[in-house]
Structure 1
Amino acid sequence: MKISVVILNWNTCALIQQFLPIVVKNSEGPDVQVVVADNGSTDHSVAWIKANHPEVRVIELGQNLGFAGGYNKALSLINSDLSVLLNSDAAPAPNWLPPLIAAMEQNPQAAACVPTIKDYSQPDFFEYAGAAGGFIDQFGYPFCRGRLFSQAEEDSGQYHQPGSIFWGSGAALVVRTRLFVTSGGLDTDFFAHMEEIDWCWRVKNQGHQILYVPESQIFHMGGGTLSYQNPHKTYLNFRNNLFLILKNQPGHGAYLTIAFRFLLDFLALLNFAANKEWKNALAVSRAHRQFFLQLRRYYLKRKRLMPLVVQKEHPETYQGSVVWDFFAKGKTRFSQLRFNPRRTV
């Protein structure tokens, strides 16, 4: 299988200079191509790549299409069987690609797979963005194995088991290139955050799998675009999470879930206010307003997607509340949840 490692760049010259040489060194192979898709950068990063890494293919998109739009356009121009959506602040470990390629070859129903994502600054710990694979609870809250909310676990091999997950992180997501393109790619209306979860849920509903491959590892710096406490990130996460449920949860249960989420989100707003995090509290309120303003747009997307659903229930959904378990019961580790989603591949 031919595979392209695609890094999306927008004025991240310092990160490109730091991480691209590692990507090139650890991605060698006759069927491997490293690609930088540039979103109209003005910081001389493209010139640096061409001068220092002529073996890297540069796709100049000419303008900033964002994370979703940039990858959608770039992958439409790539002919490889597989493509890796790789963040510009990620350092792959040696020999990271063969296990990922093998997993996709051995599992034709897999639409995507992900490596273990570790913390670049603390290599023994899982990283915020994806850790050991993503899951979702019955109320639509995404979470990771190896990282619940702000609590990242040390990797002691406790999750070194391949299997099916609910979603894979866009920090390092291997996809079947043609399937990605024909499925519509990432939803550009999300702008940022959770668009990869939306895509994973969409293709899972259509009968595909998302796999976790622990034999492969990358080390991710993280937080390069927006810090985890940034109010705009809070706004996008709360807004996009509601859109995620409306678009992808089959049946009338989606509306009940959204109604319950409004209650839980209001409690989150009160918690932000109690801690005098006024900007984050306002971000939650703004997210709810925007959800209603764009409700018709996403309802029409739902109507287009629901006839394509062939699998309504997924064993990778936690039939509990990760919010309640974490904040009320003090469960800070994935292994403390009564949840064993592993399905060996």
Structure 2
Amino acid sequence: MKEAAIVILNYNGEAMLQKYLPQVISNSVYDIVVIDNGSNDGSISYLQRDFPEIRLVLLSENHGYSKGYNLGLKELKDAYSFYLLLNSDVEVSNGWDKTLVGYLLQYPKVAACQPKVLSLKKKGYFDYAGAAGGFLDQLGYPFCRGRILHLLEEDQGQYDDSIEVDWASGACFCVKSAVFHDLGGFNPFYFSHMEEIDLCWRMRNKGYKIHHCGATSVYHLGGGTLSQVNPLKTYLNFRNSLYMLKGNLELIGFIKVLILRMILDAGAFMHLLLTKGVPHSWAIIRAYRDFVINRDALRYRQSQKVKKHTSAKPLAVYCIIWSYYLKGKKKYSEMN
């Protein structure tokens, strides 16, 4: 069994591959595998022509992030001890892959870790997707060191440390392959968005730890496949958040959280209606509707459930929405 593979999921991302893949190759030491989600834009011919050494796993259609990775990594099972899952729109630092794998080798109880994720669009600032490690509040809303809601902090070295977190960024993280497959991988019904948070929660329910490794950084473009202005992004975030809560909380705990979430999500409905229009606000209604209808998603590889979420953050945040808007706490350091 080889030590690790860098695995990139691609769907019609020829432009991203042309821009970022060459520097991934030059800054990495491990095998690179590209899982293609049924692209029709020339991605495959580009890879076969310019990088014949890269292994391709070809899927017949676009299965999204979660199922696409599950199907592709199934082809790699028992071939590698670690997977480095990397978005196609990420610029990496020299030796980033060896650093993350070395970190997991150093800490056997840690199942997954992420690097510091900085923004390519806003130089010198943290990126929305994971920043310097992710957390969940008691109602299941995600936030990060370096990013609270949509507010990004400037990187001034304040989060260069390595600590335990609740979840690692799906834009770039290293995971033990045996743990990934043992837990059934990502929930395929998510399609995309928040599947890595759910997977990390299931890992933590099993007794594993998730860490942020501050010894290396990557730079994420973001929005390469689904931009913030697309109502589908709103829909997936709200629906998958409900899936995640139901899949990880015991029934009584879930009902308690759901009641409060419905009140807050009603406020989000009005906010989106006034700021982004009907398509985004309607996406929340669709999210709740489909959450109720799609029972298969809720039954997928049910994990060991917990009464309530226990955060790795020493002083847990009850509601990030409350802290941000009513208490005015807009940085992670202010949450302590």
TM range (shorter): over 0.9
Superposed CA offset, 1:289-337 (max 9, x none): 222223x4355448x4237x79973433833211011122222211111
> How big is the shift at 1:277?
2.1
Is the partner of 2:258 in helix, strand or coil? helix
> How big is the shift at 1:199?
0.6
The 2-side partners of 1:54 and 1:311 are apart by 49
Q: Note if contact 1:123-1:219 (Cα within 8 Å) is conserved in structure 2.
A: no
Structure 1 residue 297 and structure 2 residue 296: aligned?
A: yes
The 2-side partners of 1:122 and 1:313 are apart by 32
State percent identity of aligned pairs.
38
Mind listing any 5+ residue stretches in structure 1 that lack a counterpart? Answer: 339-345
1:315 is aligned with what amino acid?
Answer: A
Match of 2:33? Answer: 35
The 2-side partners of 1:298 and 1:230 are apart by 23
TM-score by length of 2: 0.93
Over the aligned positions, Cα root-mean-square deviation in angstroms equals: 2.0
TM-score by length of 1: 0.91
The 2-side partners of 1:200 and 1:248 are apart by 11
Match of 1:343? Answer: none
1:246-285 alignment, distance < 5 Å: 246-250=246-250, 252-275=252-275, 277-285=277-285
Match of 1:162? Answer: 162
The 1-side partners of 2:208 and 2:256 are apart by 26
1:220-235 alignment, distance < 5 Å: 220-235=220-235
Is the partner of 2:23 in helix, strand or coil? helix
> How big is the shift at 1:205?
0.2
1:312-327 alignment, distance < 5 Å: 313-316=310-313, 318-327=316-325
Higher deviation after alignment, 7-16 or 176-185: 176-185
The 1-side partners of 2:183 and 2:45 are apart by 33
Q: Note if contact 2:130-2:169 (Cα within 8 Å) is conserved in structure 1.
A: yes
- Aligned length, in residue pairs: 332
1:193-212 alignment, distance < 5 Å: 193-212=193-212
> How big is the shift at 1:85?
1.0
1:40-51 alignment, distance < 5 Å: 40-51=38-49
> How big is the shift at 1:68?
1.1
The 2-side partners of 1:7 and 1:323 are apart by 33
The 2-side partners of 1:22 and 1:252 are apart by 49
Match of 2:22? Answer: 21
Superposed CA offset, 1:132-175 (max 9, x none): 01100011101111011111111001111101110011100211
Structure 1 residue 137 and structure 2 residue 137: aligned?
A: yes
Q: Note if contact 1:250-1:312 (Cα within 8 Å) is conserved in structure 2.
A: no
The 1-side partners of 2:189 and 2:298 are apart by 13
Closer, same or farther: CA 187–276 of 1 in aligned 2, 3 Å: closer
